[in-house]
Structure 1
Amino acid sequence: MSSNGMDRSKLSKSMLRKAPEMQALANRIDKAMPYRFPRGYMEWNELRALVAMQMVSIAHSGVVKKLSSMDDQAGYFNAHRYSLWAVQQAPIYCLSKEVFHAMLNTTINEEIIKNLKISLPTMMLLFPDNSLRSSEAAVDHLVIHTSDLRYPENSTGKNFGHEVKYLSQEKKTIIHCTTVDQNSITWLAGIGIEDGKVNYDKSNRLGVFTVDKDDDEFLDIIRQIALMTYIILQSNPEMIGEVAESEIPKTVGKGFTPQQKGKYIKPRIIRVPNNKKAKVESPTTREGSHSSKRTHWRKAHYRNIQSKDGQPKLVYVRVAIINPQ
């Protein structure tokens, strides 16, 4: 965890005005990846500026030395992972509100991790507006990168005149989840996987600030979201869909002109399939043969199961009233 304590949107705009190199890089990123995001998510204009800031910072040896001297692992890994996402031109996925909230209500069965296959080393997730907060501010996106000792080439890249080098690691497989919240505070969570077993990095000193209980709970949430996203990509392809043209605003912030259809690219979206949409069930509905001792809401969530070949799978369980009186 590290911070400069300034509104992220104001900071990015200020940095772009003061640093022509950063502005030029943001423009090159936009030309290569002319994204437009659906309503209800952060704007691409702000995200590309944030990415450019991270790339420029890690490109300067003086900044890297400063981060190292501060023992700011969060700041250093954050800049590295954002840069990897950019130079690899890795994909972006939006999480729908239903999927996002169901993820928060799900308990991961670590047994299914044994057969988890990481087919996409680097990606970005976008969260619905005002759906997730750190202990400090709103969080609207997450960069995920999985580094594997067997495939170091997946953790390097060159693009936009920048080279991102491989960082050494101790665990066989490490999933890094990192983000910058709207208060410009950097968050980093690690998941180590060795011989099918998960080991969470619970260090309380990942950056220049000490991680307290509330911070740790937030980091657990983003770890869980990362793991569940990988399970969905592996075994629930029916949940991956296209963003409709009607969901894309005609204009996106100041400085942009209306975009013609096909002149931009859209992120993919992870949704509950139409035939499994969450519905509030009637008070007369009872599910299964087990009854609860009291009436209560069962929140929408995912149930972890394994198929006969041991592959992980998520089953969406709808919201319902259990044991109505």
Structure 2
Amino acid sequence: MKPIIFDQNNPSRNRSLKIIEGVDKALIKKIRDDRTYKMPPNYINWQTLSGVISVALSSCTVEYAKVDVSAFIHSYRTALWFISDAPIYCLTEELIEAFDQTEALKKPGILASWQPSLPTFLLVIPKGLIYTPDGGEVDYLTISCSDSEHPEWNSGKWGSIQIQPFNLKHDRYFQICTVDSLETVWTSGTAVKSDGTLLYDETENLGRHIISPEDKAFLQRIRNLVINVLLTLEFSPSLLTTVTDSETKTKSKGFQVLDRSSSNVRYPRWLGKNYKNFSVVSAEKRTHLSPYSHWRQGHWRVLKSGESKRWRDSKRLWIQPVWVDPQ
């Protein structure tokens, strides 16, 4: 069994949406009465997301874990995001490109003494930008952070739906979940030791299928993206802005979510709305030995404050990637 993901512009997802709405109209109505997100064009809309959430809330039980553990993890984490009333961040194309050129996975001490500020958030991806090796499109990622000092982050209640916590194997942990347009579940978890060492088993196959080398490369890209996002949320607040009402206007046809009241309307936040990729022109004359146009990789520089080893007393400075165009 696979969770169902929906998209008003995708015929198969559209059929799935009608099926779910026909099965549990009461739950979907309750979700949409609770809150309505106005999303910018070219991002997953609330009609779609509320369908994903309804499936998550319906299948985040221990019994479902016995059917499909990877699908259960996605439902569990996505349901917790909704119950926690956590934020949505719209990641821009320019920032995704920059993060793809910023190595964070192999940087020693990059998450040393990490203390997450948010238990969970939703990261939405511009349409047509990230695809899995099988050709499935990824339009959102549920990011969850676990902290042994905050066991309450792994439980919650919304109406009659209650999510039970589970035992944590590591003091610090972040998990990534999504379902692509082909209705394939993707999950990836990484533990973080106090010295910043990342614990990740690339040989583990949590779901029903064996992870291929192409799958591993895709998951590595996603993990690198998420680490960059975690660092940006902490140390580059200037890249955060609120999505305005005018930025959510669209002429798209199909299912529309109506504003039921001003009290339940929410707006996501931009992550990288005003970010511009850097480019330089090399001063050296081009010869047969000169490089062709290329990216100069970015990285994070760890700046410590005195002898303190606390996360809050240190800084991470993003040395941004640069597009080099030799003459």
TM class, shorter-length: 0.7 to 0.9
**Is 2:91 aligned against 1:90?**
no
Alpha-carbon RMSD across the aligned residues, in angstroms, is 2.7
* CA drift at 1:221: 1.6
**CA 1:302–1:32: 2 relative to 1, 3 Å:** farther
**Is 2:324 aligned against 1:320?**
yes
Task: Specify the alignment match of 2:15 in structure 1.
Answer: 10
Provide TM-score, normalisation by structure 1: 0.84
Distance in 2 between the 1:177 and 1:157 partners? 19
Distance in 1 between the 2:95 and 2:173 partners? 24
**CA 1:259–1:200: 2 relative to 1, 3 Å:** same
**Is 2:119 aligned against 1:121?**
yes
**Is 2:108 aligned against 1:110?**
yes
**CA 1:85–1:186: 2 relative to 1, 3 Å:** same
**Is 2:300 aligned against 1:294?**
no
* CA drift at 1:308: 4.0
**Is 2:141 aligned against 1:139?**
no
| Secondary structure in structure 1 of the residue aligned to 2:221 | helix
* CA drift at 1:272: 5.9
**CA 1:124–1:259: 2 relative to 1, 3 Å:** same
Match of 1:77 among 63, 73, 80: 73
**CA 1:12–1:37: 2 relative to 1, 3 Å:** same
Partner letter of residue 238 of structure 1? S
* CA drift at 1:165: 1.1
Task: Specify the alignment match of 1:168 in structure 2.
Answer: 167
Decide whether the 8 Å contact of 1:93 with 1:126 is kept in 2. yes
Distance in 2 between the 1:116 and 1:146 partners? 11
**CA 1:160–1:225: 2 relative to 1, 3 Å:** farther
Distance in 2 between the 1:39 and 1:220 partners? 28
Match of 2:47 among 30, 45, 48: 45
Deviations 1:168-196 (A, max 9, x none): 22122221100000111100001011223
Deviations 1:14-61 (A, max 9, x none): 2222x12xx3222222222210110111111111101111110224x6
Distance in 2 between the 1:320 and 1:37 partners? 34
Partner letter of residue 321 of structure 2? V
Task: Specify the alignment match of 1:232 in structure 2.
Answer: 232
Task: Specify the alignment match of 1:202 in structure 2.
Answer: 202
**CA 1:228–1:303: 2 relative to 1, 3 Å:** same
**Is 2:272 aligned against 1:271?**
yes
**CA 1:261–1:304: 2 relative to 1, 3 Å:** farther
**CA 1:259–1:302: 2 relative to 1, 3 Å:** farther
Greater shift in the superposed pair: 204-213 or 259-268: 259-268
Task: Specify the alignment match of 1:36 in structure 2.
Answer: 38
* CA drift at 1:11: 2.2
| Structure 2 residue runs without a partner (length 5+) | 6-11, 306-313
**CA 1:141–1:47: 2 relative to 1, 3 Å:** same
Decide whether the 8 Å contact of 1:29 with 1:48 is kept in 2. yes
The number of residues matched between the two structures is 306
* CA drift at 1:254: 3.1
Distance in 2 between the 1:135 and 1:34 partners? 33
Task: Specify the alignment match of 1:289 in structure 2.
Answer: none
**CA 1:62–1:73: 2 relative to 1, 3 Å:** closer
